[in-house]
Amino acid sequence: MLFFIKFIHTLNEFFFMFYVFIFKNNKYDIYYTIYFCLIFIHWLLLNNECILSYIEKKLVDENYVLGDNPYSHLLMEEIPLSILITNHLLKLYNIIIVVFRNKKNYFIIIVLTIIFIYQSYNYLNKYSLL
């Protein structure tokens, strides 16, 4: 079960890292934005914790309490910091590209700008840069 959750989490990470490289035009940007928005909302509802990370932590430690350590990810513990930072930068880059190629879609611009600010703040917190 833990392997399956890590696999789904990894696929999700790759999707957000490489979306603009896979989809060169803005045909699917609205779906990308809605998906990102749903993830953003679930982070807010789960005390900054991803549901997949929470399930991973709960499988490893049944006493884990939601929100106790939201910036710790079992999937990411084995990955060097430089790759994690590259991962986050690629995700932020994707947001910027999607915003710029949708100059007339205010929903996409507003939602992804809010998510960009929130993500940036979280990354700065995660790496103790604030």
Dihedrals φ, ψ of 21, to 5°? -85, -30
Reading phi first (left if > 0) and then psi (alpha if -120 to 50, else beta), residue 79 is in: beta
Residue 127 DSSP code: T
Domain boundaries, the chain: 2-126
pTM of the model: 0.82
Render each residue's pLDDT in the chain as its tens digit; 130 residues. 888 888 898 899 899 999 999 999 999 999 999 998 999 899 889 988 888 888 888 888 899 998 888 777 766 677 787 887 888 889 889 999 999 999 999 999 999 999 889 888 877 877 776 5
